[in-house]
Amino acid sequence: MKADGKASSAAAITGVLVGVAMVSTRAVSSHASPPTLAFLRYLIGTVVLAVPVLCGPRPRFTLKDALAIAVLGVFQFALLIVLINEALRTLSAAICALVFSTMPLLTMTFAIMVGREVFRWTKLAGLALAVCGIALLLAASASSGGAHPSTAPAFAALFGATVIGAVCSIMYRPYVQRYPALPTSALAMTAAVVFLAVWCVVASQPLVPGLTVSQWANVGVIGLSSGIGYFCLLWALARIDASRVVAFQALGPVTAAAIELFIARRPPSMTLLVSIAIVVMGLKLALSEAPHWPGRRGTGRAARR
């Protein structure tokens, strides 16, 4: 298998593990608080990352950069996951994964706004198409008999998590360019674990909740998915374009829906299938590479001249 093929496979594994983690979190969300689940998730994830970090290069972070990376880690690994865990108390894993899979599109939108990426009509069209898919899903949820007032805060929490992920992915860029990606991520994740531990203590939430064996198995799956998935993500980012890597996030909702339907032994609704198809099409369109015309090889300002 060629290097690009291996990197694409690693990115695909990341997308699948996002869906797996959503389903496992949904299974234990009513038995442990969102901060506790987030703490356990990234405690296990940090342990998984510790092995390659200790075997690799150890950069010297400046105090200013270390603090900035730690703050970003608190937002990306702590607040973001707490919001997702809160949403999973009400919404299905498939719906949460579907909405969260639009994060690459938000990332591109913010990057274009701040001049980090070049505007393309295909990006705008892809964003609009994905929004239509989400709108269809939300409209069906609001009009169904199972709709409940509590779904509004859940969707708000989910959207907030998606925005946080998009903004953090942009703000991380200078630090990942300055330092190796793996130790940088380990530092951010460790800061999040410390923050979540303090949060649980202050909020009187148990760090080690009383769970059954099957529930602890789900927690283990969540943590392993986070650690392995993030390692695969960084490995892929070091070898192929970021836009190609994040495109595989679309596998998250497909995986979550397939697992939930297998467990429930029922067919998927037509609305869910259509929504997934529209979002995947939007991602594919927005993340597609522009054709390379002779004499137009630059990016950024050079491409617009």
Cα distance between residue 125 and residue 288, in whole Å:
11
* DSSP string for 71-86: HHHIIIIIIHHHHHHH
Assess whether pLDDT exceeds 50 at residue 302.
Answer: no
Provide the residue type at 121 as one letter.
W
Assess whether pLDDT exceeds 80 at residue 54.
Answer: yes
Assess whether pLDDT exceeds 80 at residue 157.
Answer: yes
Among candidate residues 101, 49, 106, the one with its CA nearest the CA of residue 73: 49
Lowest pLDDT segment from 36-50, 192-206, 220-234, 238-252: 238-252
Asked whether the beta carbons of 41 and 223 are under 8 A apart, the reply is yes
Provide the residue type at 46 as one letter.
T
268 DSSP 8-state letter: P
Assess whether pLDDT exceeds 90 at residue 43.
Answer: yes
Tokens for 190, please give them.
């460790």
Distance of CA 85 to the CA centre of its chain: 13
Q: What is the mean pLDDT of residues 58-87?
A: 89
pLDDT at 219: 93
Could you give the 3-state DSSP secondary structure of residue 291?
coil
Long-range CB pairs of 138-141 (<8 Å, 24+ gap) are 140/269, 140/271, 140/275, 141/95
Q: What is the mean pLDDT of residues 40-54?
A: 88
Q: How confident is the model at residue 259 (pLDDT cuts 50, 70, 90)?
A: confident
Which residues fall within 8 angstroms of residue 181, CB to CB, at 6 or more apart?
A: 234, 237, 238
Cα distance between residue 294 and residue 301, in whole Å:
17
Cα distance between residue 205 and residue 67, in whole Å:
26
Place of tokens 């400046």: 62
pLDDT at 143: 59
Assess whether pLDDT exceeds 60 at residue 148.
Answer: no
Q: What is the mean pLDDT of residues 225-230?
A: 86
Q: How confident is the model at residue 301 (pLDDT cuts 50, 70, 90)?
A: very low
Tokens for 48, please give them.
């998984």
Lowest pLDDT segment from 53-57, 178-182, 295-299: 295-299
Q: How confident is the model at residue 44 (pLDDT cuts 50, 70, 90)?
A: very high
Asked whether the beta carbons of 278 and 125 are under 8 A apart, the reply is no
Place of tokens 């990376």: 69
What angle do helix axes 3-28 and 213-237 make, rounded to 10 degrees?
Answer: 150
Assess whether pLDDT exceeds 60 at residue 298.
Answer: no
Cα–Cα distances (Å) from 17 to 76, 223, 244, in that order, read 17, 10, 17
Which residues fall within 8 angstroms of residue 78, CB to CB, at 6 or more apart?
A: 38, 42, 192, 195, 196, 199
In this predicted model, what pLDDT tens digit does every residue of 207-226 receive, in sequence order? 998 889 999 999 999 999 98
Tokens for 115, please give them.
């001049």
Could you give the 3-state DSSP secondary structure of residue 29?
coil
pLDDT at 191: 94
Q: What is the mean pLDDT of residues 195-209?
A: 92
* pTM of the full structure: 0.74
Mean pLDDT of the chain: 80
Assess whether pLDDT exceeds 70 at residue 294.
Answer: no
Tokens for 271, please give them.
């609305």
pLDDT, greater one: 135 or 273? 273
Q: What is the mean pLDDT of residues 200-213?
A: 90
Bin 48: left if φ > 0, else alpha if -120 < ψ < 50, else beta: alpha
Q: What is the mean pLDDT of residues 229-239?
A: 78
